Structure 1
Amino acid sequence: MGFTPCASEPCVYIKNKQRKYNIIAVYVDDLLLASSNLRDLNDIETKISKEFDILDGGPAKYFLGMEIERDGDVGNIAISQRQYIYDLLMQNGMEECKAVSKPLEVGFQTSCDKDACSKVNRTEYQSLIGALVYLAISTRPDFLHSVSKLAQRNTDPHIEHKTAAKHILRYLKGTAEFKLHYKKTDRSIECFVDADWGEMRASESHTLVVRL
């Protein structure tokens, strides 16, 4: 169909031509279609239906734990994972926990080489960290740094690391309604990062310019 896998995400296929943008996101046997042209969108669905039995779910509202709100008249989209957070709190028995204002306490350190430290179940810890990482990279970049630090202890988690992970859950309790808002614009967005595609360079700064 003329689509090309995205370089940074091989499960996302793109076809951009004459200022018309078409995207297909694939997850196992689920597809999420996006297009800047309604006729193209219908054409893509028709072609896929000729090869596979499909069920049209209509405009996307919920996908892989992400809640999607659309205002098609002005081109705005809001994405959140409110229910995902509530389910995560329930799974960890923290529905009634007291919310905090920061993901981690200032100065929190993950390093610990004391043999006397109390260790926790590694599988349970990894499961919680994995759920938090998925949430952070999907819709909540505000605590990505914190959970990335805790992920460094995946092979040897101590009680203080699990306590810190639960601290993040308490932060989520108070921010469950947070959303990522995308608004239609003709302006460029400039993003400043301290790493390039392949390696970290502490002494250099790179500028990434993304045009929507």
Structure 2
Amino acid sequence: MLAGFEQSKFDYSLFVKKKEGKIVIILVYVDDLLIIGNDMDMINDLKGLLNQNFKMKDLGDLWYFLGIEILRSQEGILLNQLKYAQDLIKDIGLSKAKVALTPLEQNQKLTTVEFDEIVQQHQDDKLLEDKTVYQRLIGRLIYLTHTRPDITFAVTHLSQFMQSPKQSHMEAALRVVRYIKKEPGLGIFLKAYNKHQLVAYCDSDWASCPMSRRLVSGFCVHLGDSFIS
């Protein structure tokens, strides 16, 4: 471990160094490093130390990292996954498909195979022959929720059916992709002048889950005026 740096207890790929109100953070992913901080002298010292021990290439200011694009302006910073979303749409084969206006169809009730057998309904809604196709798609959608909180509820709901996905689940997941196709460059905008305060809102309905009759809740989180989750 680098001298003076502490490994985060919550993320073992994160290393932090603090000194007299100054801070430098290193994020490590395989052979990619992201270095941020509020003091350029500490950042440059760290780069020099790393160069002495490892073969490194400084790519300059952050603009792309792990599929996330970082766009800066005087108003703030936009984080999006435009290329990731476009690749997803192309790989799924929906480049020429019609867009969807919402992630999920209104009032659609998705159920498990076990529930269908108990209530003897949706007998024509068959299991997918290859469930890994559905699982891979949901996994890619989960990664996209880092910058697309508008699809988080739909993706979380669809991830409940990973073990035994049916045709209706696959169609619903493809609808999410068609919704993304409408605005693939949407992302999270962090305003340059913002309040450093987290504000959360939550809501829940009443017994809307068709299988358990439990409530379904939702939430959103703002950092100042910026919607982040």
| TM-score between both structures, scaled by the size of structure 2 | 0.77
Indicate the residue corresponding to 2:179 in structure 1: 171
The one-letter amino acid paired with 1:28 is: V
In structure 2, list runs of 5 or more residues that go unmatched. 118-122, 203-214, 216-220, 225-229
Indicate the residue corresponding to 1:103 in structure 2: 103
2:101·2:182 contact (CA, 8 Å) conserved in 1? yes
The one-letter amino acid paired with 2:104 is: L
1:25 aligns with 2:34: no
1:46 aligns with 2:48: yes
The one-letter amino acid paired with 2:172 is: A
Indicate the residue corresponding to 1:199 in structure 2: none
Q: 1:131: how far off?
A: 0.2
Q: 1:70: how far off?
A: 2.5
Separation (CA, whole Å) in 1 of partners of 2:8 and 2:201: 21
1:9-88 correspondence runs (5 A): 9-71=11-73, 74=74, 76-88=76-88
Indicate the residue corresponding to 1:91 in structure 2: 91
The one-letter amino acid paired with 1:97 is: A
Indicate the residue corresponding to 2:209 in structure 1: none
When residues 111 and 124 of structure 1 are mapped into structure 2, their CA distance, relative to the original with a 3 A threshold, is: same
* Correspondence for 2:132 among 101, 123, 130: 123
CA RMSD of the aligned region, Å?
A: 2.3
| TM-score between both structures, scaled by the size of structure 1 | 0.83
Separation (CA, whole Å) in 1 of partners of 2:85 and 2:152: 15
1:70·1:76 contact (CA, 8 Å) conserved in 2? yes
Number of corresponding residues: 196
Q: 1:126: how far off?
A: 0.5
1:110·1:153 contact (CA, 8 Å) conserved in 2? no
The one-letter amino acid paired with 1:16 is: K
In structure 1, list runs of 5 or more residues that go unmatched. 195-201, 203-207
Spell out structure 1 runs of 4+ moving beyond 3 A: 208-211
